[in-house]
Structure 1
Amino acid sequence: MRVLENIEICIYCKQILEVKICWRFKLTSYIGQSELDELVQGKIYDHIVVRRLINYALPYYKWGIWAVIGMIGHIFSMSLQPLIIAWAIDGFIVPSVNFGPNWMTFNLVCASFFGIIILNMLSNYLQYYSLARLSVRVLADIRKSMFDHLQRQSTAFFDRTIVGRIMSRVQNDVNQLEEFMDIGIITVGDIAMLGCIIAIMFFMNPFLALVTLSTFPILIGIMIYWQMKSKPIFVKVRTAISSVNASLQENISGVRVTQSMNRQDKNLYLFDELNAAHRDAAIHAAKLSAILLPVVDVLTIVSMGLVIIVGGLMVFEGTLELGFLVAFLLYIQRLFEPVRVISMQYTVFQRAMASGGRIFELLDIHAEMKNEGKLQGLVPSKGHIQIEHVGFHYDNGKTVLEDINVDIPPSTSIALVGLTGAGKTTLASLLSRLYDPTSGKIILDGYDITNLERSFLSNQISMVLQEPFLYSMTVRENICYNRQEITHEEIEKVTRHLGAHEFIMNLENGYDTVLQERGRNLSMGERQLISFCRAMVMNPRVLILDEATANIDSQSEKLIQDAMRIMLKNRTSIIIAHRISTIVNSDNIIVLESGRIVEMGNHEYLFKRNGRYRELYELNFQDE
Structure 2
Amino acid sequence: MAHNAISQDELIAKHSSFTTIKRILSYLKPYRLRVAVIIMLMLIVMACNVLIPYMLQVSIDTYVSSKNVQGLIKFGGLLLLISFVSMVVSKYRLLWMNELANKILINIRHELYTHIQTLSFSFFDNRPVGKILARVVGDVSSLQNLLNTCVTNTIPDLFTLVFVMIMMFSMNPKLAVCSIIIIPVLMISMFTIEIKATKLWADSRQKRSNFIAYSHEAFSGIKVTEGFNKEDFKAKGFYKSVSDHVNAFDTAVKVQDLFWPTVDISQGIGTVIVFLAGYFLVKNGSLSSGTLIAFTMYIGMLWRPIINLSDFYTTLISNFSAAERIFDILDINPDIKSDTNALIMPEIKGNIRFKNVDFFYDKETQALSNINFEIKAGQKIAFVGETGAGKSTIASLISRFYDPQKGQILIDGIDIKHVDIESLRSQMGIMLQDTFLFSSSIKENIRYGKLDATDDEIIAAAKAVNAHDFIMSLEDGYDTNVNERGSRLSLGQRQLISFARALLANPKILILDEATSNIDTHTERLVQKGIQKLLTGRTSIVIAHRLSTIRDCDKIMVVSDGKIIECGTHEQLLRQKGAYYDLYMAQYSFLSA
Flag the 1:264–1:433 CA change in 2: closer, same or farther, 3 A.
closer
Equivalence for 1:138 = 104
Correspondence 1:182 to 2:148: yes
Secondary structure of residue in 2 paired with 1:345: helix
Equivalence for 2:581 = 614
Equivalence for 1:5 = none
Are the counterparts in 1 of residues 13 and 324 from structure 2 also a CA contact under 8 Å? no
Equivalence for 2:563 = 596
Please list every run of 5 or more consecutive structure 1 residues that lacks an aligned counterpart in the other structure: 1-29
- State the shift of 1:159 in Å: 2.9
Equivalence for 1:223 = 190
- State the shift of 1:123 in Å: 3.3
- State the shift of 1:37 in Å: 4.5
Secondary structure of residue in 2 paired with 1:394: strand
Secondary structure of residue in 2 paired with 1:346: helix
- State the shift of 1:532 in Å: 0.7
Equivalence for 1:525 = 492
Letter in 2 for 1:75: M
Flag the 1:56–1:468 CA change in 2: closer, same or farther, 3 A.
same
Q: How many residues align?
A: 587
Correspondence 1:391 to 2:362: no
Secondary structure of residue in 1 paired with 2:590: coil
Are the counterparts in 1 of residues 458 and 504 from structure 2 also a CA contact under 8 Å? yes
Flag the 1:105–1:350 CA change in 2: closer, same or farther, 3 A.
same
Correspondence 1:116 to 2:82: yes
Letter in 2 for 1:143: R
- State the shift of 1:494 in Å: 1.3
Flag the 1:493–1:166 CA change in 2: closer, same or farther, 3 A.
same
Deviations 1:97-116 (A, max 9, x none): xx54x222222232222223
Equivalence for 2:124 = 158
Secondary structure of residue in 2 paired with 1:573: strand
Secondary structure of residue in 2 paired with 1:549: coil
Within 5 Å, give how 1:25-174 maps onto structure 2.
35-37=8-10, 43-46=16-19, 49-93=20-64, 95=65, 100=67, 102-174=68-140
Q: Greater shift after overlay, 267-276 or 465-474?
A: 267-276
Flag the 1:555–1:117 CA change in 2: closer, same or farther, 3 A.
farther
Equivalence for 1:552 = 519
Please list every run of 5 or more consecutive structure 2 residues that lacks an aligned counterpart in the other structure: none
- For 1:405 and 1:73, how far apart are their aligned partners in 2? 74
Q: Greater shift after overlay, 331-340 or 270-279?
A: 270-279
CA-atom RMSD in angstroms: 3.2
Flag the 1:44–1:408 CA change in 2: closer, same or farther, 3 A.
closer
Within 5 Å, give how 1:358-377 maps onto structure 2.
358-372=325-339, 375-376=343-344
Are the counterparts in 1 of residues 12 and 324 from structure 2 also a CA contact under 8 Å? no
Percent pairwise identity: 34
Are the counterparts in 2 of residues 44 and 350 from structure 1 also a CA contact under 8 Å? no
Deviations 1:433-490 (A, max 9, x none): 3223333333333433344454443344321111111222332222222422222222
Flag the 1:447–1:254 CA change in 2: closer, same or farther, 3 A.
closer
- State the shift of 1:262 in Å: 4.4
Equivalence for 1:7 = none
- For 1:38 and 1:426, how far apart are their aligned partners in 2? 28
- For 1:201 and 1:337, how far apart are their aligned partners in 2? 15
Are the counterparts in 1 of residues 52 and 79 from structure 2 also a CA contact under 8 Å? yes
For 2:470, which of 490, 497, 503 is the aligned residue?
503
Within 5 Å, give how 1:137-286 maps onto structure 2.
137-185=103-151, 186-228=153-195, 230-235=197-202, 237-265=204-232, 267-269=234-236, 271-272=238-239, 275-276=242-243, 278-279=245-246, 282-283=249-250, 285-286=252-253
Flag the 1:616–1:231 CA change in 2: closer, same or farther, 3 A.
same
Equivalence for 1:406 = 373
Flag the 1:429–1:487 CA change in 2: closer, same or farther, 3 A.
same
Letter in 2 for 1:208: L
- State the shift of 1:223 in Å: 2.8
Letter in 2 for 1:60: Y
Are the counterparts in 2 of residues 417 and 591 from structure 1 also a CA contact under 8 Å? yes
Flag the 1:440–1:336 CA change in 2: closer, same or farther, 3 A.
same
- For 1:433 and 1:528, how far apart are their aligned partners in 2? 24
